Each structure stands twice: as C-alpha cells, then as structure tokens.
Amino acid sequence: DAKTTQPNSMESNEEEPVHLPCNHSTISGTDYIHWYRQLPSQGPEYVIHGLTSNVNNRMASLAIAEDRKSSTLILHRATLRDAAVYYCILRAGNNAGNMLTFGGGTRLMVKP
Amino acid sequence: GAGVSQSPRYKVAKRGQDVALRCDPISGHVSLFWYQQALGQGPEFLTYFQNEAQLDKSGLPSDRFFAERPEGSVSTLKIQRTQQEDSAVYLCASSTPEGLGSEQFFGPGTRLTVL
C-alpha cells in the first residue's frame, strides 16, 4: 500500500472545527482513502472513507484534493470525546480481504 | 448489538511461556484480522482469515506465532515461548465481505506483557 504522511499531533479547542491533513502523493488509481481513529485504551474505529469525491457522514467529512494526492478529515465541532489518534490509510481496492496499513497517525488533543 | 470481544483483556506471561489470545468476531462476519500494536505505534497486520481459511499470514513475525479459526467464527492467536519483544496490544478485527468500504470492526485488544 502507498504511504501516507500526517502531522504527529494537533490541538483544537472544544466546539471548534478541526482539519486533519494527510498527504499521499504516491496514491494509485484504485486506492481508497480510509480514516480510522483510536480513543485511549480502545481498538481503532472506522470514521469515513472515499475514493474521489468528498464524503460526509454523521461523524465527519472527508475532503479529497482533485489530484488525490492529499485529503483532509474535517470534524465540524470538536468535543472532548474526539481526543484520539487519527489514522489516514490507503487501502487497495474495496476488497474486504485487504488489511489496513496504519502509519503513526495524528494525535488530536481537544482543549475545553 | 454485540461488537468484537477479546479475552483476556490483560495477560502477563513469564518469558518462555505459551499464551493463547481469543477473539469473538461479530456474528456473521466472514473476514477476521489480527494486528499487533506496540506502545506508541500504529497497529501492524499479522494475519487474515476468510471463514476458516487463513488466506494471509505474511505479518506473523516468527514461527512462534500461530493463529487458527477452525469453525470460521472464534479465532485464537497463540504465541509460543514468549519473548519480551512480544509485549504489545493484540487487536482483532472483523468485517463482512459486502458493503461499501468493508469497514473493519475492532475489539478492545489484549494487552500482553512478557516479563
């Protein structure tokens, strides 16, 4: 799987929007962009994924650059419960058998 | 509804002991994955099952690591002759073959400490 680059950490104030960037300049045409997050002492949980178009769900929005070499996870109003490590992952195709290749992720700290 | 469960949640082993870690996936999930997460790192893939078939074991770090899923449901990850470098959180995840994105559902993990 192609590599992703994320900042090690970011800070946000509660109830403000958060934009978490991810660079993936070597993405291939069949790679999907997945985001997972891991709260303290828990397993990772799925946040959102996309291929080319921007995506929205109840948790977040995903903005994908036109050339697909970068993407941004957007939390519209950060809460204290959003403090977690956020992983940007490229996954070949959409096959259930494809494992996730995690990088170091971005540790998001939310200040009250 | 019930998610992925793992047991035990914590395991302390003396170096050289054998351990067995259990994963109960979400009922009906065909795909099952094991990951290893060292302290401060992201999870790393160990092995993948589709039903009872182990289709990918390329991530198992040595022949001391063995995983099985004999009836296509519960899975066990066994580590023989544990070493200190095996200390990590072992995560299990399951997913369905259909569905957009085939998201993986993770259990809480088993934290293994080898003394």
Pairing state between β A106-111 and A9-13 = parallel
Instruction: Inform me whether the pLDDT recorded for A99 exceeds 90.
Output: no
Which of A28-32, A79-83, B5-9, B79-83 comes out lowest in average pLDDT?
A: A28-32
- A99/B42 CB distance under 8 A: no
Instruction: Inform me whether the pLDDT recorded for B99 exceeds 50.
Output: no
Whole-angstrom Cα distance, residue A70 to residue A78?
22
Residue-wise pLDDT for A43-81, tens only, equals: 999 999 999 999 999 999 999 999 999 999 999 999 999
Instruction: Inform me whether the pLDDT recorded for A96 exceeds 70.
Output: no
Average pLDDT over residues A18-40: 94
A7 near B CB under 8 A: no
Q: Give B73's DSSP letter.
A: S
Instruction: Inform me whether the pLDDT recorded for B100 exceeds 60.
Output: no
- A99/B48 CB distance under 8 A: yes
Average pLDDT over residues A8-20: 97
Instruction: Inform me whether the pLDDT recorded for A93 exceeds 80.
Output: no
> Where does residue A90 fall: left (phi above 0), alpha (psi -120 to 50 degrees), or beta otherwise?
beta
Average pLDDT over residues B27-47: 95
Q: Give A53's DSSP letter.
A: S
Measured in degrees and rounded to the nearest 5, phi and psi for residue B101 equal 80, -20
- A96/B96 CB distance under 8 A: yes
A93 near B CB under 8 A: no
pLDDT of res. A98: 79
For every residue of B19-70, DSSP letters joined together read EEEEEEPPTT--EEEEEEE-TTS--EEEEEEETTEEEE-TT--STTEEEE-T
Beta carbons within 10 angstroms of residue B87's beta carbon? 16
Of B42, B93, B105, Cβ closest to residue A103: B42
Instruction: Inform me whether the pLDDT recorded for A1 exceeds 90.
Output: no
